[in-house]
């Protein structure tokens, strides 16, 4: 969502901080906020003027016409303000249809003035620029300012001057006030632009001899510009519309949305309602809400929301558990229903997102059963069959009634089932076309292109033409209008005038895509590009539609893709200029640039005359930037599809990115060859649903475009409808409009004036908005009605009156399309062609594995760590649990090395071993090597490796050997004296015995520390005791033959493994055998080696050369003579 309302206090704060004007703006920052928690004594200390001035008080909760509603207290002292607030604070109040609680009040100084000193000013954004409205009479009784006010359009990228203001806006203003008002309005407009306002109204604006006073203010800002305006905005609080509470769950989902590349929205309408929705897609979410309201469920509809843009399993889980938590708080005597709906996804892996929902259902299965929740599921898209199967299985295993449907069922049919308006099929038919593109019904490997790329509606010069279909008996063509329902007429504007005002000077192409269209893709979107190439191949194109890719974050290189069965290389360029220069045949750019970089990359692209069409996928581009792109595109004759779109598709020719989904859907919806029906939609997900509906009710799609959900799409409904009107292959047009904006009225005017003569089937979604008591911002940024003419109900009626075919609801859209199509077939306008199967396209290995169609032996196995899910897992324990349990480094080592959760004392012992083995000075061989390497200018890794390579039986590697020797002797029942004598007889050293410096008289404190801990905490120390008995024998012969730190750790670790209770005897012996104990020394001593490396670098030591006097040169006698 882009344009969001802000509180009056926030708006005034922005104005007082940042307005730049010669006019003296009075009462800057003189306002105080009052809530139920306000401490009046503290408030008067912070705002001492409250005690001395006359005051005005009013609620600050996005309530319109407060003065007429008696919600403004005027000319009061502080006590009067308190008395005025007391009966209203935290009391329910009705404003229009909305019931809400007054909880936030604004107090300001009262400004003594006359009626003649009140003015009205408003600035608001439109597609072509920003309108400034001014009226010389302001205040409560200003009336209909749209008809009264002076109006000035400041075109996109133009500046407003004081002379323009005086001439166009201030003809009725006294001369003594013109200068100050002109300066203020220009300053206000500059503020409006700089801080990305979309609406700013001041009424009244009071101008006295002292200066300018902003009395009442209402404003909206473009929330998507947060990354630009953060420094000036700070943390903006967006209050909910009056009548709707701000719930913490809404804030939680908004926070998830802000941290995700996906779209997650939640608005609570009636937390006690029995009908809950969890819908995928911004357009689909509106359609489901419409259908629920159409079927009488408006009072029971609990929420509006949507998830889209391929959220991860974890994000979907978090979203689902929030909704399930909300719906299982209060019981309903009729039980509750949860509608998990959606259109046919373009690129979202349905099974992956359903896994998150299934997890949430399992977690809440108890409350769901207790609250008698029935779940209805309908979804399509990549891997949807697996998603539906998993959803059906969880219903069986949990006992929760879950009814599952796929693309064979109309999208909103489950709403009728959930509300009892239609029966629930016992065994719904399932489309099982996942991976069908592996098979070919024909024996031909490749179908001749000419048989499938001509439009289905072209007349064939042949005597055996396919006979025209008869109209369906249940819906005869001559009674088409019997299913259309009357509503009140609305007034429409002149579409020609609107076209002229848009300032379009560059001629735009009627045909955007052909079989020879070549595109550049901006962004490393390999999956989308492969999808385009697979589509090209199945359409029997001669060459791939993607010529190159642009990705600024890597150097020029080649990227591998598949063209049918063989591999090809596509060039990837670091900058746009090189790509354009080397590929002059390209005329389409598909931009996957982020919302932050899409504007700059698009403006750069339009510098190249070869580009005629640009598709911008990114959602969340600030509206001001979008309007600048539109202006330049109009001047250069470039068609922009988007922003916030999946793109478009021309069957048999070209598809943009992920449009149309994967190949199974391409084939199911017959998008590999052209039909006779062209459509235009706002929603990307709903465009794929239209592909499905049109393929089931007609001969298929000729072309389809999703113009995007933003308030100002780069191209409009009318732009594409006129293209379709002028395209011979298009025989009928389908438009899926939406609440918000007035573009649909241009279609009405085009039909009336005869510019559009082909049948137009149209439905505007968002009819439910007029039934809600408070304003709801739907999933798309542009889906919000700012006036009556922008409602879906008004637009549907206007289209109906103009002669378009308008169904009663989205449920009947397919029926109307079928009826119009059958009529065109019956009168010979459309002659359906014979179906010809497309060529086969191999499935990618990764996707085939995802679908469970193949299996392959793994190259290697692992059992200690799994990074594939939402959370890193160590030996079965999520990383969050590791920290929650405060397991420490010893605990982590236990999980990764031994696959066990070791006792606390064992973890502590491991950490102590790492500490005591961390370093033993620079003289030992490992540290010496590390230092020499560091001083030779080598990097950290090389220097560390040099030191580690010295570890062995003679240095540091005695842990394993000591453990093995002592264990073998102890386990064989050999006495300590027998063990010592045998080792002497065999001529072998006893590993872990002996020290160069330390002795029985000068003990190693490291060993003493470890010994004290082990004796205190270990359950048993049999091997350690045995080793200490050996030490008594060896030190009696020579005092330095002590049990050294390596030997101690080795034998103590064997005791730990054997007695901690976590290992069998065989497992304990295996860990000793495979070298686990030496790992303790390697890990610990690495810390010391790294310390020596850093020390040498910090001391800036030069290249080391060993001194001659420390070398004994012993040469052969004949060489030295």
Residue 204: cis peptide before it, omega within 30 degrees of 0: yes
Nearest C-alpha neighbor of 643 from the set 627, 625, 621, 660: 621
Given a contact cutoff of 8 angstroms between Cβ atoms, the answer to whether 191 and 169 are in contact is: no
| CA distance from start to end of the chain | 93
Nearest to 382 by CA among 315, 283, 310: 310
Question: What phi-psi label fits residue 710: left (phi over 0), alpha (psi between -120 and 50 degrees) or beta?
Answer: beta
Alpha helices in 803-924 (DSSP H): 813-826, 845-850, 879-884, 888-898, 904-916
State the catalytic residues.
Answer: 780
618-634 burial by CB neighbour count: b if 16+ within 10 A, else e? bbbbbbbbbbbbbbbbb
Q: What is the CA radius of gyration of the chain?
A: 38
Per DSSP, helices labelled H in 1074-1116 are: 1076-1098
User: Where are the alpha helices (H) located in 583-700, listed in sequence order?
Assistant: 598-605, 623-636, 663-668, 684-697
* φ, ψ for residue 67, nearest 5 deg: -60, -45
Q: From CA 489, how far away is CA 467, in angstroms rounded?
A: 40
Cα distance between residue 109 and residue 121, in whole Å: 21
Strand segments, DSSP code E, in 771-848 are none
Q: Hey, how many other C-beta atoms are within 10 angstroms of the C-beta on 900?
A: 17
Listed residue (689, 691, 593, 677) closest to 642, CA to CA: 593
Residue 1060 CB neighbours (<10 A)? 20
Looking at the DSSP assignment, which residues form a beta bridge with residue 277?
339
What tokens does 518 get?
Answer: 């070549």
Cα dist. 750→12, 494, 746 in Å?
43, 9, 6
Which helix (H) or strand (E) segment is 305 a member of?
Answer: strand 303-308
Q: Is 116:204 a contact under the CB 8 Å cutoff?
A: no
The whole-angstrom separation of Cα 230 and Cα 223 is 10
Residue that is written with structure tokens 């908005």 in the block: 769
> What strand order describes the sheet that includes 701-706?
654-655, 648-650, 701-706, 677-681, 732-738, 760-765
Report angle CA 590, 595, 600 to the nearest 5 degrees: 70
Task: Encode burial over 558-587: b for 16+ CB neighbours within 10 A, e otherwise.
Answer: ebebebbeeeeebbbbeebeebbeebeebb
CA distance 469 to 471: 6
Q: How many CA atoms lie within 13 A of 271 on its CB side?
A: 14
State phi, psi for 22 to the nearest 5 degrees: -75, -20
DSSP letter at 945 equals: H
Give me the residues paired with residue 588 across strands. Answer: 519, 613
Distance from CA of residue 757 to its chain's centroid?
41
**Strand ranges of the sheet holding 566-573, from the earlier edge strand across to the other edge:** 557-563, 566-573, 546-550, 519-522, 588-591, 613-616, 639-641
| Contact (Cβ atoms closer than 8 angstroms) between residue 495 and residue 750 | yes
Distance in angstroms (rounded) separating the CA atoms of residues 229 and 690: 38
Rounded CA-CA distance 410/408 in Å is 7
């Amino acid at each position: 969502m882009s344009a969001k309302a802000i509180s009056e206090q926030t708006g005034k704060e922005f104005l007082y901080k940042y307005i730049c004007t010669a006019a003296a703006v009075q009462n800057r920052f003189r306002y105080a906020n009052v809530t139920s928690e306000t401490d009046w004594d503290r408030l008067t200390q912070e705002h001492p003027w409250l005690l001395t001035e006359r005051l005005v008080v009013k609620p600050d909760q996005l309530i319109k016409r407060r003065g007429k509603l008696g919600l403004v207290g005027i000319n009061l002292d502080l006590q009067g303000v308190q008395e005025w607030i007391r009966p209203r604070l935290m009391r329910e109040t009705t404003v229009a249809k909305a019931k809400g609680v007054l909880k936030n009040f604004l107090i300001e100084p009262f400004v003594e003035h006359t009626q003649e000193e009140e003015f009205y000013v408003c600035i608001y954004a439109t597609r072509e620029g920003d309108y400034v409205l001014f009226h010389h009479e302001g205040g409560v009784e200003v009336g209909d300012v749209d008809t009264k006010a002076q109006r000035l359009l400041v075109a996109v990228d133009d500046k407003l001057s004081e002379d323009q203001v005086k001439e166009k806006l201030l003809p009725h203003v006294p001369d003594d006030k013109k200068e100050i008002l002109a300066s203020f309005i220009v300053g206000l407009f500059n503020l409006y632009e700089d801080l990305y306002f979309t609406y700013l109204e001041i009424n009244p604006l009071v101008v006295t001899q002292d200066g300018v006073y902003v009395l009442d203010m209402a404003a909206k800002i473009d929330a998507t510009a947060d990354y630009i305006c953060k420094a000036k905005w700070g943390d903006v609080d967006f209050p909910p519309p009056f009548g709707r509470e701000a719930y913490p769950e809404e804030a939680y989902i908004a926070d998830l949305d802000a941290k995700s590349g996906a779209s997650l929205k939640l608005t609570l309408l009636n937390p006690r309602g029995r009908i809950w929705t969890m819908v995928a897609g911004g357009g689909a979410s509106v359609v489901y809400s419409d259908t629920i309201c159409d079927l009488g469920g408006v009072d029971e509809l609990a929420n509006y929301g949507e998830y889209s843009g391929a959220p991860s399993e974890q994000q979907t889980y978090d979203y689902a558990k929030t909704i399930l938590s909300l719906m299982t708080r209060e019981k309903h005597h009729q039980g509750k229903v949860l509608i998990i709906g959606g259109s046919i996804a373009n690129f979202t892996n349905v099974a992956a997102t359903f896994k998150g929902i299934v997890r949430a259902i399992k977690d809440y299965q108890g409350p769901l059963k207790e609250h008698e929740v029935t779940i209805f599921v309908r979804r399509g898209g990549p891997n949807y069959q697996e998603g539906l199967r998993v959803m059906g299985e969880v219903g069986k295993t949990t006992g929760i009634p879950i009814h599952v449907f796929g693309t064979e069922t109309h999208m909103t049919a489950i709403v009728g089932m959930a509300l009892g308006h239609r029966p629930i099929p016992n065994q719904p038919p399932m489309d099982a076309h996942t991976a069908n593109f592996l098979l070919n019904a024909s024996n031909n490997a490749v179908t001749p292109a000419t048989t499938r790329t001509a439009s289905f509606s072209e007349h064939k010069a042949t005597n055996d033409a396919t006979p025209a279909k008869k109209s369906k008996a249940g819906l005869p063509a001559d009674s088409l209008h019997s299913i259309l329902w009357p509503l009140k007429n609305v007034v429409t504007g002149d579409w020609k005038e609107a076209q002229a005002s848009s300032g379009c000077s560059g001629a735009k192409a009627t045909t955007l895509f052909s079989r020879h269209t070549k595109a550049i893709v901006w962004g490393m979107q390999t999956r989308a590009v492969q999808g385009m190439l697979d589509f090209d191949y199945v359409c029997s194109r001669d060459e791939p539609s993607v010529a190159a890719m642009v990705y600024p974050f890597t150097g020029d290189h080649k990227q591998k893709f598949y063209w049918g069965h063989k591999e090809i290389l596509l060039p990837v360029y670091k900058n746009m200029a090189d790509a354009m220069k080397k590929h002059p045949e390209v005329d389409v750019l598909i931009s996957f640039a982020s919302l932050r970089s899409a504007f700059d990359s698009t403006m750069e692209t339009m510098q190249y005359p070869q580009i005629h069409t640009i598709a911008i996928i990114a959602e969340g581009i600030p509206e001001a930037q979008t309007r600048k792109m539109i202006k330049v595109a109009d001047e250069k004759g470039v068609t922009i599809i988007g922003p916030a779109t999946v793109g478009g598709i021309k069957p048999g020719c070209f598809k943009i990115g992920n449009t149309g989904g994967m190949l199974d859907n391409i084939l199911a919806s017959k998008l590999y060859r052209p039909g006779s029906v062209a459509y235009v939609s706002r929603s990307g997900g709903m465009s794929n649903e239209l592909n499905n509906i049109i393929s089931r009710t007609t001969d298929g799609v000729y072309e389809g475009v999703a113009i995007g959900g933003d308030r100002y799409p780069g191209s409009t409904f009318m732009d594409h409808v006129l293209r379709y009107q002028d395209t011979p292959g298009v025989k009928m047009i389908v438009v899926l409009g939406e609440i918000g904006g007035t573009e649909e009225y241009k279609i009405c005017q085009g039909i009336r004036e005869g510019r559009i003569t082909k049948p137009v089937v149209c439905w505007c979604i968002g009819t439910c908005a007029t039934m809600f008591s408070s304003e709801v911002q739907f999933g798309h940024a542009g889906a919000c009605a700012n006036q009556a003419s922008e409602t879906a109900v008004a637009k549907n009626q206007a289209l109906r009156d103009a002669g378009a075919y308008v169904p009663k609801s989205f449920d009947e859209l397919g029926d109307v399309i079928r009826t119009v199509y059958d009529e065109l077939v019956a009168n010979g306008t459309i002659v359906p062609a014979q179906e010809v199967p497309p060529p086969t396209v191999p499935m990618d290995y990764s996707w085939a594995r995802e679908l469970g169609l193949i299996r392959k032996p793994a190259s290697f196995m692992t059992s200690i760590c799994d990074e594939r899910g939402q959370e890193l897992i160590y030996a079965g324990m999520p990383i969050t649990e590791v920290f929650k349990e405060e397991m420490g480094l010893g605990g982590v080592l236990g999980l990764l090395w031994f696959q066990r959760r070791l006792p606390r004392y064992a973890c502590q012992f491991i950490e102590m071993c790492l500490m005591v083995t961390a370093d033993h000075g620079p003289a030992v061989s490992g540290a010496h090597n590390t230092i020499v390497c560091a001083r030779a200018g080598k990097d950290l890794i090389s220097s560390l490796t040099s030191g580690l390579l010295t570890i062995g039986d003679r240095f540091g590697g005695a842990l394993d050997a000591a453990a093995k020797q002592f264990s073998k002797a102890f386990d064989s029942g050999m006495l300590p004296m027998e063990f010592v004598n045998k080792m002497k007889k065999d001529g072998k050293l006893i590993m872990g015995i002996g020290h160069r410096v330390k002795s029985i008289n000068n003990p190693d404190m490291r060993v003493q520390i470890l010994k004290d801990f082990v004796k205190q905490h270990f359950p048993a120390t049999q091997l350690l005791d045995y080793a200490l008995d050996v030490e008594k024998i060896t030190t009696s012969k020579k005092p330095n033959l002590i049990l050294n730190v390596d030997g101690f750790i080795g034998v103590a670790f064997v005791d730990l493994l054997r007695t901690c209770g976590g290992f069998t005897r065989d497992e304990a012996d295996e860990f000793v055998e495979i070298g686990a104990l030496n790992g303790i020394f390697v890990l610990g001593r690495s810390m010391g080696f790294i310390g020596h490396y850093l020390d040498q670098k910090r001391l800036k030591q030069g290249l080391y050369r060993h001194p001659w006097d420390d070398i004994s040169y012993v040469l052969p006698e004949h060489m030295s003579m």
